[in-house]
């Protein structure tokens, strides 16, 4: 499937007169592709923008064994559009019963690239997650020994903690002690949303990094309530105050190697979002690069976009940057408003809006 088949652009503007930026093909270091019909519906959009993707394992049931990871990878490869070379990088879902030997075997065989730590009950399909972090010590010690990163959904699940404070509480009471206990462990804080988290990541680089989503760079917590409740902007971690959004923008445009793309694109059917109990997740895979490059342009940092988008992630994970390129053009474009699935659809983040940047094309 071609870029033109997925994205509409403003036909009344001359592409050859528009400023553009060409970078090595980027990777998405945190993406949810789901499974079945939803996988086949959303995968083409991620594959059109990114060469590789770190695939989240929170399926039902979750990806907990090497065999699970191989089977899920096969389903993703089978769902790629014709001609796509998108490479899924698999992860293991950590539980209270994870076997360190299985972790090491999967990493040695490249069955997975990292393990995902969900505090039990923290977000979508996390009920099988870790409830006893102390009991996970043998697994983390093994990961530390073999150089395997742990990807952390960093939120407290204490019901007494305010939802806007859950990341801060987790960082102070859980993450910092973990870093002291496991001095060699490689850690990625997923979808960082606060200035405090940014500071912690900086202080512990290079063995620590953070992914930052496109939506947390352009919305704050007020956005969720503007003109009424906006369920399609609700995600976990929830967007924070404006001061935190600005701190995230400074972080991604700083040129520091500890920050990388991670869209956390998390599709849910419209009926699950516009529901009595709204599912958490923003489906941003369609408009991710357009949003990221807009932020860098607004911050006067286009010269630093290549590092954030294409180099920092591979460096942290010990991989080579991609050989192909993607071109982004400062030409107004409109992405699809929603992705249909049968009688339903998935609402696209910033879909249907006129965005100042467009995806111009890719080269292998």
Express each pLDDT in 39-74 by its tens digit.
Answer: 999 999 999 999 999 999 999 999 999 999 999 999
**Ranges of H-type helices in the chain:** 3-6, 36-49, 66-79, 100-108, 137-146, 166-170, 176-181, 195-204, 215-218, 242-252, 270-273, 288-298, 305-306, 312-317
Alpha-carbon distance values, 302 to 14, 173, 191, 296, 332 (Å) = 21, 37, 22, 5, 17
Q: What is the residue whose two structure tokens read 């870029």? A: 3
Architecture in CATH of 3-363: Alpha-Beta Barrel (3.20)
Q: What is the pLDDT of residue 4?
A: 54
Query: What does the pLDDT read at residue 40?
Result: 98
The token duo for 202 is: 């900086």
Q: Which of 186, 178, 141 is nearest to 318 (CA)?
A: 186
Active site residue 162: no
pLDDT at 363: 87
State how far the Cα of 330 lies from the Cα of 338, in Å rounded to an integer.
23
Task: Name every residue whose Cβ is closer than 8 Å to that of residue 93 and which is 6 or more positions away in sequence.
Answer: 57, 58, 62, 63, 64, 115, 116, 118, 128, 129
Q: What is the DSSP letter of 256?
A: -
Task: Indicate which residue of 27, 28, 68, 264 is catalytic.
Answer: 264
Position 8 scores a pLDDT of 56
CB count in 10 Å sphere of residue 226: 10
Task: Tell me the sheet residues that pair with 89.
Answer: 54
Instruction: Please report, in range form, the residues annotated as the binding site.
Output: 30, 32-34, 58, 116, 153, 191, 236, 264, 268, 280
| CA of residue 320 relative to chain centroid, distance | 19
Q: pTM higher than 0.75, yes or no?
A: yes
Residue 31 · residue 336 · CB < 8 Å: no
Per-residue pLDDT at 125: 82
Q: What ranges do the domains of the chain cover?
A: 3-363
The per-residue pLDDT for 362 is: 87
* Residues in binding site for substrate: 32-34, 58, 153, 236, 268, 280
Structure tokens, 334 = 């409109």
Q: Using the 8-state DSSP alphabet, how is residue 278 labeled?
A: P
| 159 CB-contact burial (10 Å; exposed 0-12 / middle 13-18 / buried 19+) | exposed
Residues 263, 306 contacting (CB under 8 angstroms): no
Both tokens assigned to 294: 């807009």
Residue from 210, 200, 295, 195 nearest 243 by CA = 195
Mode of pairing for the β-strands spanning 333-335 and 7-9: antiparallel
Q: What's the chain's Rg over C-alpha atoms?
A: 19
- Give the pLDDT confidence score for residue 154 in this predicted structure: 97
Measure the CA–CA gap between 25 and 27, rounded to whole angstroms.
Answer: 7
Structure tokens at 95: 């539980």
> Whose structure tokens read 């939506």?
215
pLDDT at site 12: 41
Instruction: Take residue 242 and report the two structure tokens written for it.
Output: 């404006």
Residues 6 or more apart whose Cβ sits within 8 Å of residue 111? 66, 69, 70, 90, 105
Asked if the peptide bond before residue 8 counts as cis, ω within 30 degrees of 0, the response is no
CB 256 within 8 Å of CB 205: yes
Positions in the chain short of pLDDT 50: 1, 9-15
Under 8 Å between Cβ of 134 and 101: no
Residue bearing tokens 């407290």: 156
Q: pLDDT by residue (tens digit) across 5-30?
A: 565 544 344 445 689 999 999 999 99
Annotated binding site for Zn(2+): which residue ranges? 30, 32, 116, 153, 191, 264
Phi and psi (nearest 5°) for 64?
Answer: -115, -10
């Amino acid at each position: 499937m071609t870029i033109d088949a997925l994205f509409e652009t403003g036909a009344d503007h001359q592409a050859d007169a528009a400023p553009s930026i060409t970078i090595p093909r980027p990777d998405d270091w945190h993406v949810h592709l789901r499974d079945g019909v939803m996988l086949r519906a959303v995968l083409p959009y991620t594959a059109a923008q990114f060469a590789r993707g770190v695939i989240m394992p929170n399926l039902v049931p979750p990806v907990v064994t090497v065999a699970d990871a191989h089977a899920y990878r096969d389903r993703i490869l089978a769902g790629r559009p014709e001609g796509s070379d998108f490479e899924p990088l698999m992860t293991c879902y950590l539980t209270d019963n994870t076997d360190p030997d299985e972790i090491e075997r999967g990493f040695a065989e490249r069955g997975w690239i990292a393990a995902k730590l969900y505090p039990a009950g923290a977000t979508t399909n996390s009920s099988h997650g870790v409830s006893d972090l102390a009991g996970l010590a043998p697994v983390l010690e093994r990961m530390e020994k073999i150089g395997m990163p742990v990807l952390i959904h960093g939120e407290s699940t204490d019901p007494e903690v305010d939802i806007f404070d859950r990341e801060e509480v987790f960082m102070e009471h859980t993450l910092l002690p973990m870093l002291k206990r496991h001095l060699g462990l490689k850690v990625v804080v997923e979808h960082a949303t606060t200035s405090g988290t940014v500071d912690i990541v900086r202080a512990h680089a290079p063995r620590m990094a953070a992914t930052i989503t496109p939506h947390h760079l352009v919305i704050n917590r007020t956005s969720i309530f503007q003109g009424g409740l906006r369920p399609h902007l609700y995600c976990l971690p929830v967007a924070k105050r404006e001061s935190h959004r600005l701190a995230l923008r400074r972080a991604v445009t700083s040129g520091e190697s500890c920050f990388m793309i991670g869209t956390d694109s998390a599709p849910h059917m419209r009926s699950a979002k516009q529901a009595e109990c709204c599912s958490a997740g923003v489906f941003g895979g369609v408009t991710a690069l357009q949003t990221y490059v807009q932020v860098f342009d607004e911050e006067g940092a286009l010269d630093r976009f290549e590092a954030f988008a294409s180099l920092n992630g591979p460096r942290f994970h010990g991989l080579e940057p991609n050989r192909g390129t993607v071109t982004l053009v400062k030409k107004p474009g409109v992405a699809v408003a929603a992705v249909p699935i049968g009688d339903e659809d998935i609402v696209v983040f910033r879909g249907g809006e006129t965005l100042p940047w467009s995806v111009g094309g890719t080269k292998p």
